């Protein structure tokens, strides 16, 4: 009986030890799994934060680019404004002085623009400026840049262009405006402009 009792006691202790071991293993496994899940969640949060930072950075870059575009664009005509054209002209002049490659400018002023505003109203005057800008852009070489210089004035900058070629471009622009009236609120309106041209390097005496 004593031997049987010892065997039973030993079995009980063995069972208890096994139960404790299993419980410990389960606890360790649960702890490891919890840490793994925390690590996964941490990685997910890190990835989410990184994605959010990238999204915010892109939005900031896009906003900066849009602000720069707006700051250099004439709101009425969609052409580069005086600030943008000044920067462009200065860069082209520096290049021309350094390389000797010619650059030309064509400046034009719409004739009697104040009278257009007085007789037809400022909304009609705005439409004249928009349509003039469209015609000028279409008549220029693809490599030329044109912007609104101020009021009713427009400035074109043409690379690798001699004074003689600039005069031909000015004539082309003059014809683009004068040969066909503009359509302002269903009414034809004849518009002309006065032009001036210059080039760098300066032409020789026989040019």
The tens digit of pLDDT for each residue in 62-77 reads 666 666 667 889 999 9
Mean pLDDT of the chain: 82
| pLDDT value of residue 143 | 85
Q: Is the pLDDT of residue 2 over 50?
A: no
**Catalytic residue status for 145:** no
Percent residues over pLDDT 90 in the chain: 56
Cα–Cα distance for residue pair 120/101, rounded to 1 Å = 44
The yes-or-no verdict on residue 4 having pLDDT over 50 is no
* Residue range 72-96: mean pLDDT, rounded: 93
The structure tokens listed for 27 are 């606890």
pLDDT at 193 over 80: yes
Residue 65 confidence (pLDDT): 62
Round to whole Å and give the CA distance between 17 and 67. Answer: 73
Q: Which of 66, 152, 168, 171 is catalytic?
A: 152
144 CB-near residues (< 8 Å, 6+ apart): 156, 157, 158, 159, 161, 169
Residue 192 has pLDDT above 80, yes or no: yes
Q: Which residue has the tokens 């683009």?
A: 176
> What is the distance between the alpha carbons of residues 136 and 173, in angstroms, rounded to a whole number?
6
| Terminal Cα-to-Cα distance of the chain (whole angstroms) | 133
Give the lowest-confidence range in 34-43, 135-144, 158-167.
34-43
| pLDDT, position 191 | 96
**Which residues, other chains included, contact 75 with Cβ-Cβ below 8 Å and sequence gap of 6+?**
none
Strands 182-184 and 187-189: antiparallel
Does 178 have pLDDT greater than 90? yes
Per-residue pLDDT at 156: 98
Confidence (pLDDT) at 55: 72
Say if residue 133's pLDDT is above 50: yes
């Amino acid at each position: 009986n004593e031997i049987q009792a010892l065997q039973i006691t030993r079995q009980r202790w063995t069972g208890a030890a096994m139960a404790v071991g299993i419980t410990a293993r389960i606890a360790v496994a649960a702890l490891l799994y919890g840490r793994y899940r925390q690590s996964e969640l941490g990685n997910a949060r890190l990835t989410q934060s990184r994605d959010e930072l990238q999204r915010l950075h892109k939005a900031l870059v896009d906003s900066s680019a849009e602000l720069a575009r707006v700051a250099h664009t004439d709101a009425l005509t969609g052409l580069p404004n005086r600030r943008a054209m000044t920067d462009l002209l200065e860069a082209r002049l520096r290049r021309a002085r350094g390389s000797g490659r010619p650059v030309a400018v064509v400046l034009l002023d719409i004739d009697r623009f104040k009278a257009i505003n007085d007789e037809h109203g400022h909304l009609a005057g705005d439409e004249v400026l928009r349509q003039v800008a469209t015609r000028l852009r279409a008549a220029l070489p693809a490599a030329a840049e044109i912007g609104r210089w101020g009021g009713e004035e427009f400035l074109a900058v043409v690379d690798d262009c001699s004074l003689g070629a600039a005069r031909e471009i000015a004539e082309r622009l003059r014809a683009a405006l004068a040969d066909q009236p503009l359509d302002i609120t269903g009414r034809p309106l004849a518009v002309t402009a006065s032009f001036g041209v210059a080039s760098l390097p300066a032409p020789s005496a026989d040019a």
